[in-house]
């Protein structure tokens, strides 16, 4: 690998930790990212001549932190900043200090960065863009391509997000108490939304965007390692591991979707399933220690585990899945959860029972443009032999979806 290639690879892996470590010094994620980029430029200039250092990540971290310390010392308000931080100039970390790469302090900084990037003061779109940029290491072009929007739009979201954090005076810290609980929900939501967009793209020509799934999985694993006593952190990690285990079987050779009932389960990733089941157990144990039951992500992971444990589609424990959806609906009422529960009830008790639940959701405004409502209804009508009605529902679902692969599948079902 060339020196330039090594720089790019190392920076992709280490960028989140570098930005987090620098942000602890400058207290501004925007400036921290700029200083990390400066360190990257320095590496591109020096490594081709001097060679790749033995610990390239530590080199980049030291270079970025050295720049951060110099910046702080140049500020006219340096003394006031130190007073606010309760620190002495000599107590600031040296760029060549061996302690720069201490994994515990870096992990603390990384946790602060996650909570900062996902602060509720930002819109959901801004949180997603900033998280993918700072923690996922994605470029503006990659984020734009993943979400089928323009680079200018993504760049604008990121710039505005940084400014909004600055204007709001969001501290670079991990909150505690009730604020921590509220903020953790925002963090988990962003990771969940990133994964979902990769697992079932809302628009475009491809059903899957595996890179987004991988980024979300990596973030969930990092968070689980940093917050070992939080049940829902492990619940989300379990859910994503179990869902990701099916990726290889979800599309055919031509990229067309393969429905759950027709998937080749030998292609499901057993390692990811084992990781997911272990994370689910950890979620249940930490919830029990806290005197609570599984949360929303934990319950969704338990549902995914029912599918993962079934060797054949016919072996799926649908009554258990229906019961889990009932618990999820009681915990977080949602028409989408009710629609999923209707599918499970239809499998456990017959299509007529499921159709009654689906029809009760037909007037819900939240599902008016949701293509899976007519898709599910079409499936149940087909199973009941009401083919003309089923065909109309599949056509309506095809008109509502913005994903080309899903549209083709629905029109094919209508044709058949």
pLDDT tens digits along 367-413: 988 999 999 999 999 999 999 999 999 999 999 988 888 899 999 99
pLDDT for the residue numbered 70? 86
Q: What pLDDT, on a 0 to 100 scale, did the predictor assign at position 179?
A: 81
Give the per-residue pLDDT at 152: 93
Rounded CA gap, 34 and 40, in Å?
10
The 10s digit of each residue's pLDDT in 183-192 is 898 899 889 8
Q: Residues 267-274: what's their mean pLDDT?
A: 97
For residues 142-146, average pLDDT: 77
In this predicted structure, what is the pLDDT of residue 380? 97
Phi-psi region of 52 (alpha: psi -120 to 50; beta: other; left: phi over 0): beta
Residue 394's pLDDT is: 96
Q: How confident is the model at residue 106 (pLDDT cuts 50, 70, 90)?
A: very low
Percent of the chain with pLDDT over 70: 89
What pLDDT, on a 0 to 100 scale, did the predictor assign at position 274? 98
Q: Return the H-helix or E-strand segment holding 58.
A: helix 56-74
Q: Which helix (H) or strand (E) holds 204?
A: strand 203-204
Q: What is the mean pLDDT of the chain?
A: 86
Quick check: 322 and 350 in contact, CB under 8 A? no
The Cα 287–Cα 271 span in angstroms is 24
The full DSSP string for 20-37 is HHHHHHHS-HHHHHHHHH
Distance CA 165, CA 413 (A): 48
Query: So what's the pLDDT on residue 102?
Result: 45
Distances (CA, A) of 346 to 278, 376, 412: 30, 10, 23
pLDDT band at 110 (very low <50, low <70, confident <90, very high): confident
Overall average pLDDT of the 221-236 stretch: 93
- pLDDT higher than 80, residue 360: yes
Q: What is the predicted pLDDT for the residue at 101?
A: 41
Instruction: Please report the pLDDT score of residue 289 as a whole number.
Output: 95
Q: What is the average per-residue pLDDT within 31-49?
A: 89
**pLDDT attached to residue 269:** 96
Q: Is 203 helix (H, G, I), strand (E, B) or coil?
A: strand
Q: Is 157 exposed, middle or buried (0-12, 13-18, 19+ CB in 10 A)?
A: buried
Does residue 103 surpass a pLDDT of 50?
no
* The most confident of 31-45, 50-64, 85-99, 295-309, by mean pLDDT: 295-309
Question: What's the rounded mean pLDDT across residues 135-164?
Answer: 86
Rounded to whole angstroms, how far apart are CA atoms 315 and 165? Answer: 50
> Residue 176: its pLDDT value, please?
79
pLDDT digits (tens, 9 = 90+) for 319-344: 999 999 999 999 999 999 999 999 99
Residue 141 has pLDDT above 80, yes or no: yes
């Amino acid at each position: 690998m060339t020196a330039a290639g090594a720089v790019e690879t190392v920076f992709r892996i280490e960028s989140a930790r570098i930005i987090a470590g620098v942000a602890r010094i400058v207290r501004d994620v925007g400036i921290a990212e700029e200083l990390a980029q400066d360190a990257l430029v320095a590496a591109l200039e020096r490594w081709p001549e001097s060679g790749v250092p033995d610990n390239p990540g530590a080199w980049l971290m030291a270079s970025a932190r050295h720049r951060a310390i110099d910046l702080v010392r140049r500020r006219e308000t340096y003394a006031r900043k130190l007073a606010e931080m309760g620190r002495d100039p000599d107590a600031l970390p040296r760029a060549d200090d061996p302690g720069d790469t201490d994994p515990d302090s870096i992990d603390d900084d990384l946790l602060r960065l996650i909570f900062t990037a996902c602060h509720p003061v930002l819109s959901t779109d801004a949180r997603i863009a900033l998280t993918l940029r700072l923690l996922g290491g994605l470029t503006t072009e990659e984020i734009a391509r993943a979400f089928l929007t323009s680079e200018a739009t993504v760049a604008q979201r990121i710039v505005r997000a940084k400014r909004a954090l600055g204007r709001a005076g969001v501290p670079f810290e991990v909150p505690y108490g009730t604020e921590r609980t509220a903020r953790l929900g925002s963090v988990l939501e962003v990771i969940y939304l990133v994964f979902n967009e990769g697992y079932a793209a809302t628009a475009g020509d491809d059903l899957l965007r595996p890179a987004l799934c991988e980024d979300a999985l990596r973030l969930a694993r990092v968070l689980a390692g940093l917050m070992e006593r939080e049940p829902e952190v492990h619940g989300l990690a379990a859910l994503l591991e179990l869902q990701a285990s099916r990726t290889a079987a979800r599309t055919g050779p031509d990229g067309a979707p393969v429905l759950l009932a027709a998937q080749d389960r030998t292609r499901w990733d057993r390692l990811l399933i084992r990781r997911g089941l272990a994370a689910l157990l950890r979620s249940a144990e930490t919830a029990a220690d806290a005197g609570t039951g599984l949360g929303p992500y934990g319950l969704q992971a338990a549902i995914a585990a029912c599918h993962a444990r079934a060797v054949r589609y016919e072996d799926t424990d649908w009554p258990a899945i229906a019961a889990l959806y009932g618990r999820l609906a009681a915990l977080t009422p949602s028409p989408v959860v009710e629609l999923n529960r209707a599918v499970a009830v239809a499998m456990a008790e017959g299509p007529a029972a499921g159709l009654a639940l689906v029809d009760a959701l037909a007037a819900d405004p939240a599902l008016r443009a949701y293509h899976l409502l007519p898709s599910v209804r079409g499936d149940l009508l087909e199973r009941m032999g009401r083919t003309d009605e089923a065909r109309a529902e599949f056509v309506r679902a095809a008109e509502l979806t913005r994903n080309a692969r899903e549209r083709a599948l629905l029109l094919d079902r209508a044709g058949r």
